[in-house]
Structure 1
Amino acid sequence: MAHMRTVVIIQARFGSTRLPGKTLEKIGPISALHHAIARCQRIKGIDDVCCAIPDLAQDDAIAREAEKCGTTVVRGPQDDVLKRYRMAADATQAKTIIRITSDCPLVDPDISSQTLKLFEQSGADFACNNAPPSWPHGFDTEVTSYEWLRRADDEATEPFHREHVMPFIRTHSDIKLVNLPSPTDLRQHRWTLDYPEDLEFFRALAQKLPDLVNATTDDILKLLEKQPEISEINHHLHDKSR
């Protein structure tokens, strides 16, 4: 029997209204994108990490950085991110897809691994760790099957569903969804890269934790407990989307 391939697909693009080129910005010695990729590469039980990047010239630098970090790169339409995911899943022969976004440089490989395990053991169609949110903003992990991704791509017509990839599946009446909650409520933490203040927050962290790419969530939480002023840098942005 052929091995069922599990692939992390990271969406990344240069265009961002609030902070263009944000994923190429340096956090310590490496880019925000490199942080996200390196952490995704440590998720247990995966076969590949793929970056799904728009096929525009302005995104060529993102594609080069993703290749340099050792990922497969698939290019597709800028605004139809769902189509881009389908293309990436086809190119990597993925049977299970883990969706992570490139603006999550502190995504926790252990929590993403647990979310994948929950998907596999529960027999659900969809597993995530944000329904409802309880982890830091920036840990979002969504897992589904190729069958459901293909169905979404074939059937979803609303622009919102095309742009945000998973809502068509998450809200479908046929879906069995499981969620991985945090043992303690951590959703007050904003660890996502969307605004200049977020970048400032990550850079302040990197100064205190030079090996930030390998820092655990526990390491980061302990530091922030001792130095709450770091969290204050971007706390006022919390949170427009949750």
Structure 2
Amino acid sequence: MKNVGIISQARMTSTRLPGKVLRPIAGRPMLHYHVQRLQASHLPIYMAITTNQTDDVLADFAQAHKLPYLRGSEDNVLSRYWHCAEANELDVIVRVTSDCPLLDGELIARSVQEYLRADDNRLYLSNVLERTFPRGLDFEIFSRELLAEAMQHATLAPDLEHVTPYMHQNRSGTVRFWHIGRQPDRSSYRLTVDTADDFTLISTLIEEYNAHQLTTNELIALLDAHPELVALNAHIEQKKV
């Protein structure tokens, strides 16, 4: 049996919306909903946070919620993932980011089962390279073997900050890809939090529509039915890798 774990990266010093992961929504920090949604996967969850003093509050959150965590470099997020995977003896890593409070844990669990059935350490499986899901439901699944290879050979700043470019650009030439998709394509919707307008949408969805209790299909149907909600953050341009 392979040891599978979800590693979520988090920091308080986000450039466009500092402290966003602990901003309150309906009386709870946004990070609460992120973790709650991931728990539906029934997979262990680990937090990869920085050694910055500003992230002591994230360590406190992890301890309060009984989440194992590792602290490392703010800029070299790749090393944070590697050391977290190594310390917890993970064979398979699910990478997510903490600014996605409405991730679908059940979708992640099904995708992990597909990954395990493939039984291929050279496989990179995700729903991010060929996007059909709303941004903010992103996940990547890969082996510790691929992570170790990236840790050894990746040197560019984007490689270190964004963890997986060395893998998904297939610089080794030996990576196999599996893209998880859905139809109709709703990749234009934003359910991630990078700006104040993103936060307004997520807050509205949770406080007024109980979005944290909805499935992915229900979330998309809700946005389909309410273009005025989609418009709240439709103008936001995602930061480029």
Short-chain TM bin? over 0.9
Amino acid at match of 1:23: V
For residues 230 and 63 of structure 2, the distance between their equivalents in structure 1, rounded to whole angstroms, comes to 32
Q: Deviations over 1:199-223 (max 9, x none)?
A: 110111122224x332222332333
1:239 deviates by 4.5
- Residue 61 (str. 1) matches residue 60 (str. 2): no
1:183 deviates by 2.5
TM-score normalized by the length of structure 1: 0.92
The root-mean-square deviation of aligned C-alpha atoms, in Å, is 1.7
- Aligned residue for 2:71? 75
Q: Deviations over 1:8-61 (max 9, x none)?
A: 0000001111100110111223212111111112115x2x10000001101111
Greater shift in the superposed pair: 199-208 or 223-232: 223-232
1:238 deviates by 4.8
Q: 1:49 aligns with which of 45, 50, 61?
A: 45
Amino acid at match of 1:184: P
- Aligned residue for 1:175? 175
Greater shift in the superposed pair: 167-176 or 60-69: 60-69
Q: 1:11 aligns with which of 5, 9, 12?
A: 9
- Aligned residue for 1:202? 202
1:68 deviates by 2.1
Greater shift in the superposed pair: 98-107 or 217-226: 217-226
Q: 2:102 aligns with which of 106, 109, 117?
A: 106
Amino acid at match of 1:155: H
Amino acid at match of 2:236: L
Pick closer, same or farther for the CA change 1:144–1:182 going to 2, 3 Å: same
Amino acid at match of 1:103: D
SS of corresponding position for 1:235: coil
For residues 50 and 204 of structure 1, the distance between their equivalents in structure 2, rounded to whole angstroms, comes to 28
- Aligned residue for 1:237? 236
1:79 deviates by 0.5
1:139 deviates by 1.0
For residues 16 and 240 of structure 1, the distance between their equivalents in structure 2, rounded to whole angstroms, comes to 12
- Aligned residue for 1:26? 24
Amino acid at match of 1:27: I
For residues 147 and 225 of structure 1, the distance between their equivalents in structure 2, rounded to whole angstroms, comes to 40
For residues 87 and 97 of structure 1, the distance between their equivalents in structure 2, rounded to whole angstroms, comes to 12
For residues 83 and 221 of structure 1, the distance between their equivalents in structure 2, rounded to whole angstroms, comes to 35
Pick closer, same or farther for the CA change 1:228–1:114 going to 2, 3 Å: same
- Residue 119 (str. 1) matches residue 115 (str. 2): yes
Amino acid at match of 1:227: H
Pick closer, same or farther for the CA change 1:155–1:194 going to 2, 3 Å: same
Q: Deviations over 1:61-114 (max 9, x none)?
A: 122123323311111111000000011101211110000000111111122123
> Which segments of structure 1 move beyond 4 Å, counting only runs of 4 or more?
238-242
Gaps of 5+ in 2: none
1:184 deviates by 1.7
Pick closer, same or farther for the CA change 1:190–1:238 going to 2, 3 Å: farther
- Aligned residue for 1:96? 92
TM-score normalized by the length of structure 2: 0.92
For residues 240 and 231 of structure 2, the distance between their equivalents in structure 1, rounded to whole angstroms, comes to 18
